[in-house]
Amino acid sequence: MSHRNGTPTSDDAFLAELGIKPELNRRIGAFGNFAISFSVICILAGGMSLFGFGMSHGGPVVMLGTWVGIGFFTLLVGLSLADVVSAYPTSGGPYFMADKLGGAAWGWATGWLNFLGLLGAIAGIDYGAAAFAGAFAQMQWGITPTAGTTMLLFGVILLVHGLLNSAGVRLVTVLNSISVWWQLAGVAVIVGSLSFAPAKHQSVSFVFTHFHNDTGFSNPLYVVLVGALLAGYTFCGYDASAHVAEETTNAQVSAPKGIVRSIWVSWVAGFVLIAGMLFAVQDYAATQNTATGVPPAQIFLDVLGASGAKALLLIVIVAMLFCGNAEVAACSRMVYAFSRSRALWGWQRWRLVNERTKTPVPAVWLSVVVPFLLALPALWSPAAYGAITAINAVGMIPAYGVPVFLALKKGPNYRPGLWTLGRWRRPVAVVAVAYVVVITTVFCLPQSEPITADSFNYAGVSLLAALLLAWVTWLTRGKKAYQLTADRTAQPSEALLNESL
């Protein structure tokens, strides 16, 4: 191991230099670190669940064109974030970096954005998995999914993810590693099956130039911006590599490499997946309005029949389950670190680590219970649920941009880690920060017209609510309680635990 100045040191010794007492097991290697971010990005989850959105918001040319563009700019953000992660490889991720580079208030605000974004991501991913499972049940057994059955299945999925993550990081790492090969093989099987099936295929011209607009807006540039959200929402979650840095060997190098690799591999594989699906569309309007509620399922049915469609749908569902499990792992580490800094109510409990598994078990269960509560409004209003889960990307993407901006602002006083962009750091970071501002604005734009309570885009409201929450909690609690590297030399007493409840 080496420190940023080249002198030998261990991962844990470097953590100590940052003011952190190591408590977690370092059982994750370079591949495992890449695997968790790749699993969280999960092109089979984002690409499939948002496929219908893309068909309505610009169609094939926008789906593929913005995938290329958003993927490129996401890679620049990932490269810039990776540079900072190498300097501060801790479970806290963006909030720890922001605090170190800009001060406590920056760290607090970034932490709340990242925390709420992670919770929204778990709610969206696992609820999406439940919805896809409902489509499968309808195809297999003729069971029509309802809001109640979807919510019940969602709760079961969260419970399973809580149990798996409580078992320890070794099991989570194995599952994430399987997830990588499952996704890559899944893309190959899906695209291969659709390509070689004896059914008609769309022309190259259709796939790469056809524009389809059901948004209600007439300006094509505006439709392109809104349509970019298929890729924008999918390319989220690569901060997972940072959140498990304290459990990764050679973290100063492995964690930043994990971020960058997860983005470019997802970029390439996702393009192949979306293009393959578009070539296989049989009836555009019928696919959009499918009775299954899941346009990719209709494509599978049209091309391969019921048996083939169910097989491919199962591939997607399992990938979603892997994705949700990895996101719970990332979120729980963020909860653990944020509690270590005394930022959350009940921090004394959420920072506890199981002595046997060296896993922050209470943080795991907080990371599954809160998303379930957040999703409950879906029983009465899809719009209310959308407002909650919208905080996913609109909270997480700015949280990635803040430490990059602060490192840029630091200028020559910024000390990079072992993995660094060197002379390219500044120009790449300038473009990355500009992109974060633009894409965050796009996340908040109206997505369809006329604008009603059901069609309203609540992302902007969610972002403002998150920032307001961060500001109010900073004034009422953060200034007094927050400590980036609070004393961890002693386990909390029973009195402290009781105080936190």
Give mean pLDDT, residues 258-282.
97
pLDDT classification of 360: cutoffs 50, 70, 90: very high
Using the Cα atoms of residue 108, residue 110, residue 115 and residue 116 in order, give the sign of their dihedral: positive
Q: Whole-angstrom Cα distance, residue 96 to residue 84? A: 10
Do residues 309 and 300 lie in contact, with contact meaning Cβ atoms separated by under 8 Å?
Answer: yes
Which amino acid, 500?
A: S
Residue 499 identity: E
Assess whether pLDDT exceeds 70 at residue 490.
no
Distance CA 69, CA 18 (A): 37
Please state, in angstroms and rounded to a whole number, the distance separating the CA atoms of residues 149 and 131. Answer: 9
CA gap 118, 326 in Å, rounded: 11
Per-residue pLDDT band at 9 (split at 50, 70, 90): low
2-8 CB contacts, 8 Å cutoff, 24+ apart: 2/252, 2/418, 3/418, 4/86, 4/87, 4/252, 4/415, 4/416, 4/417, 4/418
Q: What confidence category does residue 486 fall into, taking pLDDT thresholds of 50, 70 and 90?
A: low
In the DSSP assignment, the letter for residue 445 is: S
Omega before residue 256 within 30° of 0, cis: no
Residue with tokens 């019940």: 152
CA distance 313 to 190: 9
| pLDDT for residue 451 | 86
Q: Give dist(CA 484, CA 88) in Å, integer.
A: 13
Mean pLDDT for all residues in the chain: 91
Which residue's entry shows tokens 């011209």?
205
The dihedrals phi and psi of 380, each to the nearest 5 degrees, come to -115, -30
Average confidence (pLDDT) over 135-139 = 86
Is 106 a residue whose pLDDT tops 70?
yes
Structure tokens at 406: 């602060």
For 204, residues 6+ apart whose C-beta sits below 8 A from its C-beta are: none
pLDDT at 240 over 80: yes
Instruction: Name the percent of the chain lying above pLDDT 90.
Output: 80
C-alpha–C-alpha distance, residues 452 and 117, integer Å: 25
Which alpha helices (H) appear in 18-58, and where do they start and end?
A: 30-41, 43-49, 51-56
Q: What is the pLDDT of residues 14-63, one digit of tens each?
A: 999 999 999 998 999 999 999 999 999 999 998 898 999 999 999 999 99
Q: What does the alpha-carbon distance between residue 156 and residue 134 come to, in Å, rounded to a whole number?
A: 13
pTM of this structure? 0.92
Q: Give the pLDDT confidence of 331-344 residue by residue, as tens digits.
A: 999 999 999 999 99
Instruction: Let me know: does 350 contact 332? Beta carbons within 8 Å.
Output: no
Comparing CA positions, the residue from 29, 74, 41, 26 lying closest to residue 327 is 41
